[in-house]
Chains A and B, each alone.
Chain A
Amino acid sequence: MFEQFKSRTEGVGSELHRFRTRGEALNFISTFLQDEGTMNAPGSYAVWVPGRFLTGIDTARLSAKIPGLSFSVNRETAADSLIGISDMDWALADTGSLVADQTAVEQRLASTLPAIHIAIIGTDRILADKAAVFTKITPATSRYIAFITGPSRTADIERVLTIGVHGPKRLVIVLVDAMEGVAP
């Protein structure tokens, strides 16, 4: 299923990176934030919504290492961020989609407003298709269920596909094999 997910999600313009451990994934994200010019200035912040991936990770040390990275996500910080980072709950092999309960507004802010969205998910969360995920999600507990498939796109001017109209211009998927492993 991984191969299908990879080919489908790359087919819609996502960037996919797979790591064995959270440590490797964290190294990648840190380097990515620095390479993209994250800094303590409006327009260049990064916001990270605490979730499954960050469990046990010392976020204070991370913020100190990367100026401009904040774990407190609100309307203002998200709007001024270049990068937003959040966990997703499920991935769908047949359409290359990510699915998450985004009832918490921070989840939506971080994955909507910044130009780059880094979406983190465990390899074990890849499901075959929509039919499979509809047995896992329920509106009884999730008020805002979000499916994200690639970056924001439009073809409204002369049918020319253009990436990044309102939502993120880049969707970077970080896939982690051992999500439950020891915190790095």
Chain B
Amino acid sequence: MKSDFKDSIEKAVNNANLTGALGKFSEAYKVNRARAYEGIDFEALRTVIAERKGYAATHLDQMAADFTRNAEAAGARVFCTSDPEKVKEYILKVARDNNVRTVVKSKSMATEEIHLNSYLEKAGISVGETDLGEWIIQLAGQTPSHMVMPAIHMTKEEVSELFSKEIDQRLTTDIPQLVEVARRELRSKFLAADMGISGGNLAVAETGSIVLVTNEGNARMVTTLPKIHIALVGIEKFVEKFSDIVPILDALPRSATAQLLTSYVSIITGPSPNTDGSTKELHIILMDNRRSEMAHDPKFRQALQCIRCGSCLNVCPVFRLVGGHVFGKIYTGGIGTILTAWFDELKKSEEIQGLCIQCGNCKEICPGKIDIPELILEIRRRLVEKEGLPILQKAIYSVVNNRRLFHGMLRAASIAGRPFSSGKFLRHLPLFLADLTDGRSLPAIAAEPFRDRFQKIKQPKCSEKAAFYAGCLIDFAYPEMGEALVKILNRAGIEVVFPEEQTCCGAPARYSGAYEVAARNAADNINALLSEEVQYVISACPTCTVALVHEFSSTFQSLGQTEWLPRAQELAGKTVDFSTLVKKLVDEGRLTLKEGQQLGRITYHDSCHLKRTLQVAAEPRQLLSRAGYELAEMFECDMCCGMGGSYSIKLPEISAPILQRKLQNIKNSGAQTVAMDCPGCVMQIRGGMDQDGAAISVRHSVELLAEQLENPRG
């Protein structure tokens, strides 16, 4: 990562105005969004939207032809082009032909994508943004920091300063007064403008209509007062039918601003009368700019299902720390990363794609059902394919891909690291883990890894067998978690086997775009774990579980190594996460927890992969309650802890504040213990709690439950 990018991150996370505004907004957003969707089946709604938008995206030529025919029949002039330069030339020509001197604009991301304002200004045409947020950033000479709330990074003091300069009068910081100034100033611009330029939230093929969704009323003015209206619409805004507007209007305001509907929605079909009785000149420009190329890419086609609500920004733990000036170019946040890679160029997304921590929050709330984290990984994969891995990472993965060398080095680390460790924590890890940050202590590499300890465990002979997939963290840092797991399964009459040839699950490589490495890890693990006849493959690390259940197949698929798919699927079918299996064993009466225990208050941290990919959240809570803990939910219990595998190493300046927020929420819950199902989260949160000094114990559920097993009868 380049140092100026690192600098911009540093500056953003230390900007209290920015992180305060974004943080408060994202906290309120979650609650308000849920309220706005009350009584609505979100899954059903977004399935319809994904289908309708997906249909349009796979029939772009037909949409464009139908739209053009119908809009022209209604009297509009339609111009289609794939070239942003042609868009600008067209608009300038219309302006010149009509002697246009001033333009008013309502919000349009497409015009920002092609830098229209500066082009027109250079040609001597005055361009006024009229959306309040857009006007503010225009006056400030900045770019939007959020797709829906462009000036969210600015304080009322800064706005007051800008407005004071603009109208040459000292203003206070009273927000209603500032808004009144904007109303007055912009009103005269609306009335004087020769041309209005808008975007379009939707373009309906069967009627040739464009739909504008706003709150301020500026789009109504822009499309009513000037005699010429130009709407610039990206062709991803197509829907086939007039009735397709309904589901999108159901979702867009709810997801964007947690409103049931925005103050204004305008459906414009052909020109309407001007105020002087003449007929408006309506131009609709359909802009491609690599969108149809995107539609032909089997992976990225789904990105065209975006309705531009910005909710992926609002729930992103990284975006709320750094904002859109770091996380994006014109289009910001998760979807912005993808759109930047396409509408701008792949290379431009190189740095911002690395900001994604893969927590999956955005995927869960996307009304277009876009798998944003997966697409960002795909960008990563293509970047690595094109540009290769950074040298340091290449060195690491050549080690990880050699199981013996990798394990040998981890063993060596346990000895080399010893002089530096204090108690259970290590201040400085050797080798590739050395670059770690303050704010979190790291676990010592265990003197004896689980694979060695396992040999010494005496197990009863059982008819049922499970293979334990430990993953690197349990094997080499937290072997006691593995021992606890064996104890629990033995008590339920299941014998644990530990295939020695198992190695890293490949997640770190995959999340860095090194799919070839991940595929070799996957193949090694499939061979190891399917070598013995077992009922289950169990893992107590959700990231590993997700790798075994979903990612092995998807990695092979991405690389076209389809010969591995049947065995990958066989493994996936046997694999189960710890809490799900134990809950099942308890429910079946095969495992009994001690009765009547009063173990005090506990709070539970949902790990990203467990909650959002494996959809497991109730099981560990039920087990802990059953064991005698009193559950006290923390605020944002399912928000990422900032670990994200190697993320915390690559971007410590972001990982650390995310962790601090998590620690605060844990402390505020009043619990003495915080439980979780992921050794990675344990590493992050336990390390943070150690440096924080709070007397809260951080435990994996497997350890807590092993302590509460009822002694076997007889």
Contacts and interface: CB of A to CB of B under 8 A. Distances in A.
A146 B269 contact: no
Interface string A6-38: 001000100000000000000000000000000
Main secondary structure of the interface of B (DSSP, over half): mixed
Contacts of A59: none
Main secondary structure of the interface of A (DSSP, over half): loop
A37 B25 CA distance: 39
Nearest to B159: A157
A108 B259 CA distance: 23
A77 to B, nearest CB: 11
Contact of A164 (B130, B151, B183, B259): B183
Contacts of A167: 216-217, 220-221, 263-264
A143 B151 CA distance: 33
Most buried by B among A104, A148, A155, A158: A158
Given A103-B273, A159-B21, A153 B263 contact: yes
A157 B136 contact: yes
Contacts of B274: 105
A95 B216 contact: no
Given A105-B274, A167-B220, A144 B176 contact: no
A151 B264 CA distance: 9
Interface string B681-700: 00000000000000000000
A97 B262 CA distance: 9
Contact of A131 (B24, B159, B182, B246): B246
Contacts, number: 161
Contacts of A64: none
Contacts of B220: 108, 112, 146, 166-167
B651 to A, nearest CB: 27
Interface string A125-145: 000001100100111101111
A166 B175 contact: no
B176 A162 contact: yes
Contact of B250 (A96, A130, A156): A130
A75 interface: yes
Interface string B213-228: 0011110110111000
Given A105-B272, A146-B264, A164-B183, A139 B209 contact: yes
A149 interface: yes
A160 interface: yes
Contacts of B275: 74-75, 105, 109
Contact of B260 (A8, A162, A166): A8
Nearest to B130: A166
Given A74-B275, A140-B207, A166-B221, A152 B216 contact: yes
B191 A139 contact: no
B242 A139 contact: yes
Contacts of B245: 134
Contacts of A177: none
Interface string B514-557: 00000000000000000000000000000000000000000000
B136 A156 contact: yes
Contacts of B266: 144-147
A152 B224 contact: no
Contact of A139 (B150, B186, B262, B267): B267
Contact of B217 (A97, A105, A112, A130): A112
Nearest to A167: B217
Contacts of A159: 21, 24-25, 28, 149, 152
A156 B74 CA distance: 35
Interface string B193-233: 00000000000100111000001111011011100000000
A96 B186 CA distance: 28
B261 A165 contact: no
Contacts of B506: none
Contacts of A152: 215-217, 263-264
A144 B217 contact: no
B156 A157 contact: yes
Interface string B221-260: 1011100000000000000001101100110000001011
Interface residues of A, number: 47
B270 interface: yes
Contact of A95 (B243, B260, B273): B260
B155 interface: yes
B149 A158 contact: no
A83 B705 CA distance: 69
B224 A148 contact: no
Contact of B249 (A79, A130, A151, A162): A130
B221 A112 contact: yes
Contacts of A143: 74, 268-272
A37 B133 CA distance: 33
Nearest to A137: B267
A150 interface: yes
Contacts of A154: 132-133, 179, 215-216
B504 to A, nearest CB: 44
Contact of B191 (A8, A79, A96): A79
A8 B245 CA distance: 21
B178 A147 contact: no
A164 to B, nearest CB: 7
A75 B277 CA distance: 11
A158 B21 contact: yes
Contacts of B271: 143
A167 B217 CA distance: 5
A145 B264 CA distance: 10
Contacts of B92: none
B265 interface: yes
Contact of A157 (B151, B209, B242, B243): B151
A138 B204 CA distance: 12
B216 A147 contact: no
B42 to A, nearest CB: 16
Given A79-B191, A104-B273, A109-B224, A165 B149 contact: no
Contacts of B394: none
Contacts of A112: 217, 220-221, 224
B183 A165 contact: yes
Nearest to B135: A156
B131 A156 contact: yes
B157 to A, nearest CB: 10
B187 interface: yes
Contacts of A146: 220, 264-267
Given A157-B151, A159-B25, A134 B246 contact: yes
Interface string A44-62: 0000000000000000000
A62 B268 CA distance: 34
Contact of A134 (B243, B260, B261): B243
Interface of A: 8, 12, 74-75, 79, 94-97, 103-105, 108-109, 112, 130-131, 134, 137-140, 142-160, 162, 164-168
Given A144-B266, A157-B132, 15 more contacts: A79-B187, A105-B272, A108-B220, A134-B245, A137-B267, A139-B269, A142-B269, A144-B267, A146-B267, A147-B264, A154-B215, A159-B24, A160-B156, A165-B179, A167-B217
17 contacts: A8-B260, A12-B263, A75-B275, A103-B273, A105-B275, A109-B275, A112-B221, A139-B204, A140-B207, A146-B220, A147-B266, A149-B261, A150-B263, A156-B136, A157-B136, A165-B218, A168-B217
